Amino acid sequence: MPTRSARTAWTGGLQDGSGQVDLASSGVGKFDVSFPKRTADTAEGTTSPEELIAAAHSSCYAMALSGQIGAAGGTIESLDVNADVTLGPDPAGGFRISKIALTVRGRVSGIDASGFEQAAQTAKAGCPVSKALAGVETIELDAALES
């Protein structure tokens, strides 16, 4: 199996420094990062580790759910997956990812709402990124089949 890589170049201190993360394996882009913007309510054109984790989790989950729906005999018209990753204070000091909320809406034929929910829960448990994030206290799932 392949290994994927990203690289971050950083200058300065935590509060006054900044960096740029390079998605090295794909070469699709370099993105600015900053600790003050990471902890602010608005990103103002920068990304953060939490946003990158959200991207990884939503895409991985979509793939895992696609596999589960197919195994259950369903056919996917569309899946819309959103991941919200929350950075919060760590009671032990510093920060931690305190919550991840996955929301998925699907247009699927061949399985009913119960089958979709079962596939959604199985995908949440089996998604490699979900497994990697098992230390996060809360990973919520809101899954609904749309007609």
For the segment 12-27, the average pLDDT, to the nearest whole number, is 96
Q: Are 57 and 102 in contact (CB under 8 A)?
A: yes
| pLDDT of 102 higher than 90 | yes
Tokens 């959200």 belong to which residue?
Answer: 54
Q: What is the average per-residue pLDDT within 60-71?
A: 98
Query: What average pLDDT is seen over the chain?
Result: 96
Instruction: Please report the pLDDT score of residue 147 as a whole number.
Output: 81
pLDDT at 53: 97
Rounded mean pLDDT, 29-58: 95
Category of 27 on φ-ψ map: left (φ > 0), alpha (ψ -120 to 50) or beta:
left
Q: Is 143 exposed, middle or buried (0-12, 13-18, 19+ CB in 10 A)?
A: buried
Whole-number pLDDT of residue 103: 98
